[in-house]
């Protein structure tokens, strides 16, 4: 007997991430994480899938594992873990990172070494050496003889979502030499590294990085770092591009990059070869997002691979979002993308070997599992979440095509309540995705399934500004709240007219990030929605310029003005400007450490509604950031879901 989804089912989810092939390509190590309500966190261990023996087995069991790599001989896994106590007396706060080693056939993990810095990646090098991506704290000029409790900022950005106030921090590379027991920094003090790719011999690395002192701009560069001598040289000294990734392919450097000339910072990247400081485009007609842009709330800990490209025996491999799917693709000789994974809806993490691809992906209404592509054949090799989902009665999203504005046809979906009865009308929630350069698909959304289980119909679509449809569809610079709003209202109109089970007198609206912005915007434009939930939203683009980690360049790029130059443009697209028009009871959800859509944005809109006498409530989650709905502490994620449902229950 199946049952409806409950909020607490989140606690039974298994999240897979970070697949990595063994050197011979026959095994895949990956991380498996599970919510732990008692500790209000996530327990993470390393598992190994043996493709020859067709087995999956857990390698570690402490629940404290972070990131890892294979040893060069494939006999051991070296991993960072929070188990044990740090030994580094000169590490600042919790900055020390401990590394352990364990045989792939099992046994006890052994402490290998420790460094007095926070780290987030490790790769094995020849000669018992390890390349480690490390957080380096840079002291500012001046001193603090009083020992005052203060922070000093001399650069932009000075904060980052999920990282807090970063001060003068840089992400760099260092090498731990096991024969000497020494850790040595390799990258220059002002360099901030975004991506790293090793050559076949693991003697050199390509870096995508920014080298700056005061303001980190969208322009960056590609560098070649000699891992033996430490010499670092820029390969793109005069190119004004945003580089996403760099790798060696058949002896030459290939990169993904965008010049931002056509659609600004959200412009889709293309693939280039890099020779003698010049770029040659390999994909001149490419207008697809190179990355996973499908919105979902049931992944955790996945790699950040936007714009990544990996050479292999199968060609240049990437992930791309096409309309409502994100799939593994290869670059064809004529510069187009060939889809390699057609059986899944959304790839959220992946790794490439010479003849196989391992990928974590949503398939139907199931949580992401590990899959392998080999010889053109796709197969799923894990089923951690199947037992739970076999118990659940789910609402199947139904895809529809709806005429939007200016001749565009929109992709949309509706979900009936789980216990749907023909002839009845149901309260309905319009859900708006974040981004805006993102997209909904037909994958499992825990929050939407919870609403459907509670008796709500759910409707959602991909308005203009979203991903997967090319630049003409995606570009809404200077038109926020215009084309996208008209698309959302056209879709809502279609649903009310054609879906007779929707009660037009009991409509609610919600969304997060850009979706929170649009929720704020909608309640100042129409009273058709009887309740709203604005999550991690934006109220004021003018103040956002100096208040968040990306505001100093994003606001000018997307809203065509700065506070001193054309502030009217950003102010015209700010919901708080029109707050006196709002009448909709609104719940605001925000987090204290959200540095992407800062807490003050929520307070501005909340304050305006309270002063104007509009019913409003604001829930602020301590210690959470912009990722609350996706990777927040389990108790906070459950409380967020409850708050949303309670608000809609009370008003719809």
How high is the pLDDT of residue 617?
98
- Domain assignment present for residue 601? The answer is yes
pLDDT of 447-482, one tens digit each?
999 999 999 999 999 999 999 999 999 999 999 999
Strands (DSSP E) contained in 276-425 are: 278-281, 310-312, 315-322, 325-331, 337-339, 346-352, 356-362, 369-374, 377-380, 392-393, 398-403, 409-415
- Domain assignment present for residue 199? The answer is no
Task: Evaluate if pTM is beyond 0.85.
Answer: yes
Burial of 156 (0-12, 13-18, 19+ CB in 10 A): middle
How high is the pLDDT of residue 88?
58
How high is the pLDDT of residue 142?
62
- Domain assignment present for residue 132? The answer is no
Task: Using CA atoms of 638, 37, 297, 528 in order, give the dihedral in degrees to the nearest 10.
Answer: 0
Identify whether 418 is preceded by a cis peptide bond (ω within 30 of 0).
no
- If one counts every other C-beta atom within 10 angstroms of the C-beta of residue 164, the result is 12
- Domain assignment present for residue 426? The answer is yes
- Domain assignment present for residue 312? The answer is no
Tokens of 494: 């279609």
H or E, element range at 556: helix 551-559
Separation CA 394–CA 617 (nearest Å): 30
Within 460-509, residue ranges assigned H as helices are 471-474, 483-498
pLDDT of 102-161, one tens digit each?
999 989 999 999 999 999 999 999 999 999 999 998 766 567 889 899 988 999 999 999
Separation CA 534–CA 272 (nearest Å): 41
How high is the pLDDT of residue 634?
98
- Domain assignment present for residue 436? The answer is yes
Let me know: does 306 contact 267? Beta carbons within 8 Å.
no
Residue that has been written with the tokens 């919901």 in this structure: 575
Domain count, the chain: 1
Q: Which residues pair with 209 in a beta bridge?
A: 193, 221
Length of the chain equals: 652
pLDDT of 183-196, one tens digit each?
999 999 999 999 99
How high is the pLDDT of residue 593?
97
How high is the pLDDT of residue 235?
98
Low-confidence ranges of the chain (pLDDT < 70): 86-94, 139-142
Separation CA 336–CA 315 (nearest Å): 12
- Domain assignment present for residue 509? The answer is yes
Tokens of 368: 């992401």
- Domain assignment present for residue 360? The answer is no
Let me know: does 187 contact 226? Beta carbons within 8 Å.
no
How high is the pLDDT of residue 141?
56
Separation CA 46–CA 19 (nearest Å): 10
Residue that has been written with the tokens 């409806």 in this structure: 4
Can you give the residue range of the structural domain that contains 477? 394-539+574-651
- Domain with residue 617: its CATH number is 3.40.50.1820
């Amino acid at each position: 007997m199946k049952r409806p989804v409950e909020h607490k089912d989140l606690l039974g989810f298994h999240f897979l991430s970070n697949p990595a092939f063994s050197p011979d390509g026959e095994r895949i190590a990956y991380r498996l994480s599970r919510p732990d309500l008692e500790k209000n966190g996530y327990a993470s261990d390393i598992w190994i899938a043996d493709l020859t023996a067709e087995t999956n087995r857990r390698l570690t069991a402490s629940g404290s594992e972070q990131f890892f790599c294979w040893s060069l001989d494939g006999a051991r896994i070296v991993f960072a873990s929070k188990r044990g106590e740090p030994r580094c007396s000169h590490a600042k706060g919790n900055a020390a990172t401990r590394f352990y080693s364990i045989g792939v056939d099992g046994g006890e993990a052994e402490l290998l070494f420790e460094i007095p810095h926070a780290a987030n990646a490790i790769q094995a090098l020849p000669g018992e050496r390890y390349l480690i991506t490390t957080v380096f704290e840079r002291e500012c000029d001046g001193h603090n003889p009083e020992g005052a409790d203060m922070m000093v900022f001399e650069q932009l950005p000075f904060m980052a979502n999920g990282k807090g106030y970063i001060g003068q921090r840089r992400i760099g590379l260092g090498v731990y030499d096991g024969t000497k027991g020494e850790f040595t920094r390799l990258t220059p003090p002002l360099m901030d590294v975004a991506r790293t790719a090793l050559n076949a011999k693991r003697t050199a690395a390509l870096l995508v990085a920014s080298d700056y002192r005061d303001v980190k701009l969208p322009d960056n560069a590609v560098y070649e770092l000699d891992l033996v001598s430490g010499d670092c040289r820029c390969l793109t000294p005069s190119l004004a591009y945003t580089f996403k990734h760099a790798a060696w392919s058949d002896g030459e450097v290939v990169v993904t990059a965008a010049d931002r000339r056509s659609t600004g910072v959200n412009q889709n990247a293309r693939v280039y070869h890099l020779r003698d400081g010049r770029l040659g485009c390999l994909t001149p007609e490419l207008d697809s997002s190179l990355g996973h842009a499908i919105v979902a709330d049931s992944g955790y800990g996945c790699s950040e691979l936007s714009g990544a490209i990996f050479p292999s025996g199968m060609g240049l491999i990437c992930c791309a979002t096409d309309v409502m799917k994100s799939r593994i693709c290869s670059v064809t000789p004529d510069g187009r993308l060939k889809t390699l994974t057609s059986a899944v809806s959304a790839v959220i993490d992946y790794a490439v070997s010479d003849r196989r691809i391992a990928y974590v992906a949503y398939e139907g209404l199931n949580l992401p599992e590990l899959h392998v592509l080999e010889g053109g054949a796709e197969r799923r090799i894990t089923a951690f979440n199947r037992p739970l989902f076999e118990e659940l009665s789910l609402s199947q999203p139904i895809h529809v095509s709806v005429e939007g504005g200016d001749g565009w046809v929109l992709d949309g979906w509706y979900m009936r309540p789980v216990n749907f009865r023909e002839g009845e009308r149901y309260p309905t929630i319009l859900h708006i995705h974040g981004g805006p350069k993102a997209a909904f698909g037909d994958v499992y959304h825990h929050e939407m399934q919870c609403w459907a289980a509670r008796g709500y119909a759910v409707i959602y679509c991909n308005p203009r500004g979203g991903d997967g449809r090319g630049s003409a569809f995606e570009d809404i610079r200077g038109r926020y709240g215009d084309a996208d709003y008209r698309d959302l209202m056209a879709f809502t109109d279609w649903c009310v007219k054609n879906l007779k089970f929707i009660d037009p007198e009991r409509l609610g609206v919600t969304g997060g990030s850009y979706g929170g912005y649009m929720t704020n915007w909608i309640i100042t434009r129409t009273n058709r929605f009887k309740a709203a939930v604005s999550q991690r939203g934006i109220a004021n683009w003018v103040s956002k310029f100096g208040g968040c980690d990306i505001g100093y360049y994003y606001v000018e790029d997307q809203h065509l003005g700065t506070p001193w130059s054309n502030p009217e443009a950003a102010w015209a697209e700010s919901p708080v400007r029109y707050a006196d028009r709002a009448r909709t009871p609104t719940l605001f959800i925000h987090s204290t450490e959200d540095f992407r859509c800062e807490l003050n944005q929520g307070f501005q809109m909340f304050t305006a509604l309270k002063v104007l006498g509009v019913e409003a409530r604001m829930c602020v989650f301590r210690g959470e950031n912009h990722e609350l709905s996706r990777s927040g502490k389990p108790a906070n994620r459950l409380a967020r879901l409850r708050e949303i449902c309670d608000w809609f229950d009370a008003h719809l």
